[in-house]
Amino acid sequence: MSPSDQAGRAPAPVGTSGQPLPRAASAAPAHQLTDLAFFAGADPAIAARNEARLRWIEFKPGALVMDFDDESDDVFVIIRGAVRVLMRTNLGHELILGDFEGGTIIGEMAAIDGFRRAANVTALVRTQVCRIPAAVFLEIVLGSPPVGLRLMRMLTARVRLGNMKLLEHTILSVRLRLLSELLRLARPARAGQGLVVSPPPIQSDLAARIGARREAVSRELNDLDQLGLIQRERGALLIPKPELIRSEIEKLGVVPGGHAEPS
């Protein structure tokens, strides 16, 4: 790239760590608000008069969607792809709140309460979103009972999951918290035997999900492998006896698993 080309470009965005962040991709092809499942049942008149205020954007893998302490209050609807939502302290400690895929909305808290962003959101893969101004989002939600009810159910599911994780952190050992998180991440294995997590999460991510040190997670994974409660294979982590794990967790009065979105 020539110096003249560089001079015509805007500086790369910088995150809270001071490092340049990947740029968003070019604007995505336009859709309509009523194409999105979350807004099914939206008042047609409200949707129609606000279409021009929507932005359809694609983010490259690793691109920042929103950052800590941002003053923006737009709401994002994930159309396709996936993002990671995490919180980080000033000392660099991270807690992964979850990975969210198509059909999910993020950023609604700032739109509702007007406070600065409390979390960082990064695209995990190429991700397409619809960016909705807070005023438009609130007008639709408050003026369309089916959408308002859907939002309440989504927020309730997230509160329930947060309460469950808080209970797990209070009562369960690192091993059982790890197993409960693996159950949340898993899906039925193709062979019908147990569950599978694929691709397997890296140890630092697992630690950030359950509030533990990476070294403790590594030690527990090795022990669980030896006990036969998990099986680590190339590209996958198998859970051959999920019911046994659930029963051990339930003995302590905790219901394992749970999801951030209503079923």
pLDDT tens, position by position, 33-77: 888 999 999 999 999 999 999 999 999 999 999 999 889 999 999
**Contact of 83 with 22, CB cutoff 8 Å:** no
163-217 confidence digits (pLDDT tens): 999 999 999 999 999 999 999 999 998 877 899 999 999 999 999 999 999 999 9
46 touches 139 (CB < 8 A) = yes
What gap in Å lies between CA 94 and CA 172, rounded to an integer?
A: 20
Sign of CA pseudo-dihedral 152, 158, 162, 164? positive
CA distance linking residue 26 with residue 102, whole number of Å: 19
- Judge: domain 13-163, CATH 3.30.2020.30: no
Architecture of domain 172-250: Orthogonal Bundle (1.10)
Nearest to 182 by CA among 258, 233, 82, 248: 258
Residues 82-111 have a mean pLDDT of 91
What global pTM score does this model have?
0.78
Cα 181 to Cα 72, 169, 230, 252: the distances in Å are 31, 11, 13, 16
Window from 11-25, 73-87, 117-131, 165-179 with minimum mean pLDDT: 11-25
Sign of CA dihedral 123, 129, 131, 134: negative
Per-residue confidence (pLDDT) for residue 28, from 0 to 100? 52
**pLDDT at residue number 190:** 82
pLDDT at 31: 76
Average pLDDT (20-36) is 63
- Written as six digits, the tokens of 131 are 């960016």
Order the strands of the 120-123 sheet from edge to edge.
Answer: 64-66, 120-123, 82-88, 94-101
Q: Report domain extents, the chain.
A: 13-163, 172-250
SS3 129: strand
Q: Give 227: exposed, middle or buried? Use CB within 10 Å, 0-12, 13-18, 19+.
A: exposed
* pLDDT exceeds 60 at position 20: no
